[in-house]
Amino acid sequence: MSERHSFSKTRLPVSKAVTGYTHLLFRRRESVMLRFSRMRSLEKFAAVDASNYNLFNSERSLNIRTIFKLNRSAALTEWRGLGAT
């Protein structure tokens, strides 16, 4: 083999935190999909879960921490109020 076609025995450094996290996201999605027997019920769950995530984590990086905590606690109070009725 020429120098041009030789393969490197060293691997590029990979952040374990990043690769581990993306791997867990796929595993979590797979496990959630296995729990639902019908695609329609999975779609309903995904819609509610996404709206719930957006409600509690909106503007997380745009505000300072104290304002974020106040908004999150207000959203949680509102969510509990909706669940109580």
Interval 41-54 mean pLDDT = 82
Task: Provide the 10 A C-beta neighbour count for residue 75.
Answer: 16
- Tokens for 30, please give them: 């797979």
Name the residue ranges covered by the structural domains of the chain: 37-85
Question: What is the tens place of the pLDDT at every residue in 51-82?
Answer: 877 777 766 666 677 887 888 899 889 988 88
Q: Which amino acid is at 61?
A: S
Indicate if the pLDDT at residue 23 is higher than 70.
Answer: no
Report which of 44, 68, 66 is spatially closest to residue 56, judged by C-alpha positions. Answer: 68
Buried/exposed 4-24: b ≥16 CB within 10 Å, e otherwise: eeeeeeeeeeeeeeeeeeeee
> Is 37 in contact with 45 (CB distance < 8 Å)?
no
- Give mean pLDDT, residues 29-41: 78
pTM score of the predicted model: 0.34
pLDDT score, position 40: 82
